[in-house]
Amino acid sequence: MNLNWVTFMAITGGCYLCYYLALILTDALFSKSFQAEKNEIPVLTFTENSPPEKVSLEDFKTGGAVTESGPASIGLGGVSLQNLFVLARQDALQYTKSVSF
C-alpha cells in the first residue's frame, strides 16, 4: 500500500473521530445512569470561619516597607556578575536545572 500524506491524514482523522465518538457515547450512557441515581443538583458551598473585617489604606502605609537604592536583584538574593564568577571558581554554585548556551 502506497501511503501518502492525504491517506495518512485521512486514516489518522478517522481514528480520532471514532475514538471521540466512542468517548461521547460512553459518557452519554453512563451519565444517564448516574443522573437516575441522584436527582439532586450538586451545589458548591463555602463556609467562612471568621467574619470579614474592614481594612484601611493607612494600615498598609505604616507597615514600614524597606526601600533601598540598591538593585532589586540583591534584595531577592541575587549576586552580581563579578560575584557569580567568584562563586563559580569556588565551586559554590548548585545547578538545579540544565544550562543551555
Q: What is the pLDDT of residues 23-61, one digit of tens each?
A: 999 988 887 656 555 667 778 888 878 887 888 888 777
- Chain centroid offset of residue 90 CA: 36
What are the domain boundaries of the chain? 1-41
At 6-24, the pLDDT tens digits run 999 999 999 999 999 999 9
CA triple 42-34-47, angle to 5 deg: 20
User: What pLDDT was estimated at residue 31?
Assistant: 74
3-state SS, residue 13: helix
pLDDT, tens digit (0-9, with 9 covering 90-100), for 65-98:
556 566 655 556 677 788 888 888 888 777 777 7
Per-residue pLDDT band at 99 (split at 50, 70, 90): low
Distance CA 66, CA 63 (A): 9
**DSSP percent split of the chain into helix, strand, coil, nearest 5:** 50, 0, 50
